[in-house]
Structure 1
Amino acid sequence: MIINHNLMANNALRNMNINSNNAANAMQKLSSGLRINSAADDAAGLAISEKMRGQINGLNQASSNAQDGISLVQTAEGALNETTSILQRMRTLSVQSSNDTATDDDRKAMQTEVGQLKSEIDRIANTTQFNTKTLLNGNLAAGTVAQGTKLASVNTTIGATATGGDAVGFDSYSFSSDMTLSTNLGDITIAKGNYTESDLATAITNAAKAAGGKTTLAVTFASNILTVTDGAGVGTALSINSGAVTVSANDTALNDYVNGGISAGTVDNTNAAANADQGKNALEVKSGSDTLTVSTGNVAAQTVNVADGVYSGAQLAKAINTGIANNAQLKGNATATFNAATNKLTMASTDDSSITVKDDGASTLSQTAGYTTSADLTATDTTTALLTNLEDGDKNVFGLKAGSVITINGNINGSAVTPKTLTVTDTSTVADLAQSVASALNLATSSVSIDAKEGTINIVGQDGTANAISDVKLTADDGTADKNPLTLFNNKFSSMNETQQAQDTHVDSSLVFQIGANEGQTMKVDINKMDVEALSLSSVDISTQQGAETATSVIDNATAAVSSERAKLGAFQNRLEHTINNLGTSSENLTSAESRIRDVDMAAEMSEYSKNNILSQAAQAMLAQANTQPQQVLQLLR
């Protein structure tokens, strides 16, 4: 037995300390609720847990960010809702002003309200803010890089009409119903539709061949002259009959006749229906080739003078009557009448005697009951239409006169071009306007075209950012010192429909919402400029009946633009709401995973604590017993 070292006591003490430490650790876990209270508890688990906590906190903040984003979007959309209400009121006023029960003073009062409404649209655009950020002034617009250029005008009929008229020279022809030609091969039919001179010649050729004509047959049609040949140059393959007149191959005396391009002795289309589009078709008179002579039973052939220009059917009849009235021999002996319902122009003598109508060098048709031609063969020569005769699809004249000044503005690669002006003369044509637009935009003349059927100006440029054309605007004034604007023209040309490839080039100012826990997990939200200029409302003027009518379509376009922007903002809001739902789910699942790593299992840890506590008490008892062992040595020393 030894007394210097009480090994049993040391062993009991060691175990007691272990048990006490284990019990203390268990008590710490039970009191904190955490399995990992320090890195020593689980070094790897602590690292994983802290990374998860970072993700969870990031997801929770991203959800909050998305909520803030929704609030911003709702602010912008709410402001645009009021802009829509303003536009609806403006449209109501324009429709009210269009009604001729309103006086000029009434319209001026309505325009005063429109002016205030436009100012309010600007105020909303420039003052709507969220956390000091202005939302609708273009500061938050998306960046764009133009890759091409193509612009189209809106609601503009270029192939308009003038005053007066005679024989016509056309670039294109149209039939409102199938046309029948009486030929030596029998009746042949040309399908209704639109034709160029070349297309019409081809259609006649194919129809004649199908009816039994020679395979070498060829019909050509150029400069309003029809020529028929076969491969050998002998004109026996086809003849086209009209009444008592027969026109055979190689007969070049076939200039177009009045009202719609019916060629005397060329086309028998008495079975064709009237053309419902007569008011939109232009008839062109060319000096030198179109001279009308009229004779009756009482009057020898007289020349009826009609000025060069582009005319409708009604204006053609009016011009012919003016020419007859100015002729001393014909005055009171002949009359031209245009029937809009049937689209036919009739010429008759007042004494019902035979009347002869002749185009210089052409065949002659005589009719005792008067000369009548159908207007089914019609056309529009858009390049030679006079600017002073332009009108919209509702026949409202644009108001361009000699001395009017058209100003052309636009951007190339985001920079404004030097404005180009065109001073209108009595002879200025659509082709002159196209050339001026091309010049202003540094384009070839061929890059600017007129589509009479659609009533549009099309501008096509080169690909690439450096050549990007945008914000093209045409405005006109009366050319006086006051520069009084031509409201109808300006309304029609106040905005151009840009294609996707022809947007402005500018820096991206979109908002970036952090909607994820990590770098790059963002969402862009852009809000376009929504002021009067951006909505092309600057030229809206309802102080006149004509201006009010055209303003309605301009306001409709603006309303559509605002509605489109609101729809985009609504889509952003919906996306953010889905984002919030997803962030919540991710945060919940990560929290669950982190809890399993970091949180203590209270039941298991309580069992562990109870075990260690009991062991600690047992160790204390054994330590007491071990401490009594040295007392036994005293018995040996007695």
Structure 2
Amino acid sequence: MVIKNNTSAQLVLGQLNKNNNKLSKELKKISTGTKITSAEDGASEYAVSERMRVQIRGLDQDVQNTQTGKSMLRVAEGGIQNIIEELRGLKELALNSANDHNSDLDRATLQKEFEQRCADIDDIVSSTNYNGKQLLDGTYARSHVIVNATEVEDLSSAGTIGASSSGTYTITANGCYQLQAGFTGNIRIASGVSEVELVGAGSTLSNVYINSNSSGLKLILKDYDVNNNSLDASSIQFAGSGNQLILKGENTIRSTGADPRPADSAIINMADGLTISSGDDESASLIIEHAGLNGAAIGIGRGQSTTGDLNIQNGNIIINSRGRDHLIGAAIGAGAWGTIGNINISGGTILIDQNPTSGRRVYWRNGAGIGSGAGGTVGNINISRAEISIMNGEGAAIGSGHAWGTTYVSKTGDISVDNSILTLRSGLGAGIGSGYAERDGSHQSIVGNITVDSTILTATVGSRVEKIGRGRNGTVGNVTVNPGVPKLNDYTDWQPLVFQVGTKANQAINCYIEDLGLKSLGIDKTMITTRDKAVQALAEVDGAIDYALDQITYVGSYISRLDYTAANLTTASENVTASESTIRDADMAKEMTEYTKSNILTQSAQSMLAQANQNSSSVLSLLQ
């Protein structure tokens, strides 16, 4: 017997400690209801379970986000419903005013109520908010932005130009002039006049020529339609620099005289600088039909020279030939043997000779579609965010004209095209580049460097001709093409309503609500003070109702989408919770069995430890 080391007691003590530890773990599992209470119970299972718990909490918050989002959108929906109700009232007033039982005084009274209801709409827009966030003022709109769009204010009425004014009518004051059927002759714009709007007669006028003596003129054409026979006068002649031609509605200028010779004058003569735009109306258009040109359709006439730039900004321009053999001026740019500054095109649609009277004959165009005429000179050509289709012949579709005649050089500077869609067809001239040069060596069609970025080009050209580069025997500088998807229009996302509906950063729903103000509804200037204005107001209010209904439909679809999203998130949360439970939750019956076992073993170990200690004390009996 030994007393220094009680081996049996030590063995029993070790087992007792193990039993106590296991009993403690079983107590923890039973008290928490989980079989994994810390990483030591199962490192991998614990990590998976914790990730699932994070996901569950995220899903539950996403469900709450969708509920908040629906509440926010219902506020917007309610505001739009109130606006629609006001619009119904506006239509009733317009219908009332359109009825001729009303006197002028009655209509004035109706106009006052009309204006108050319009003011109510603005009040609804300004007061519809959620937690201080304005919902209907366009803050969360995805707005289509017209490239280079500028608002064009309506000019006040300044008179009519009718048949009795035929001959020469001189405009001496700014304002809007209504053309009437039967007028023919010259419209002269006196020096010092800065803004003139000409509204078409509702029918085609014959031989009407506009001549400006005022530099820096802003000329607005609205539904202007003329058919001119003279080949010696421009249909529109500007003067000086800084001029603007602004298009409203559909405008048509025909220069189709019976004289078989081409016109030396430009149809629209830019003088020393012109900018053509459609203001804020991207649907506005200008159609030019001609019977053959030595001058440009838009630019300068044959042999004329200017250092001014020609700028075209948005809108739709269509230029068609009626099938003359020799078209030696450019469609847009310089006339034959003429010189202009740069041509800058930004936005809009341009179609040149896509539907000529004789498609065969356009093959003989010596001038470029856009650029220099035969023997002409143009500075640089810059094209951005435009859709252009051109059918051309010996001049380039875009670039320099045919080197032809006694002036042996047709020249264009650098050409830059970006974010555009081009459909070009040419015979001996390039799609983008130089025109055709005669073989004798003295004729040259020259273009500087060409850069094409993010542009879709579809080009059909003749033999020994490049789609981008040289026309037959032509000369170009360096050609750089950078592929990419063109971006024709800007879409500005004014901080859309973002509802986070997923556990990842990119799992969100963007909601857009357009501006519901009077201007966006198109009724900011609507009047019902006369029967004609009331009839027009009916169409404008109908358009506003359609616009508002379109917006409330979008809002309703967003709410429906959030409903489905909330249901899906709830289901996902339930499934992840069930999966996490499988990993972490304890089987209480099993754990109680383990607890009972550990408890009995612990008590047994305690009893055996006492017995082992008593064995050592029996040594004392030997010492008595």
Q: TM-score, normalised by structure 2?
A: 0.50
Indicate the structure (1 or 2) with the bigger Cα radius of gyration: 1
- Of Structure 1 and Structure 2, the greater strand share is in 2
- Larger relative contact order, structure 1 or 2 (CA cutoff 8 Å, min sep 6): 1
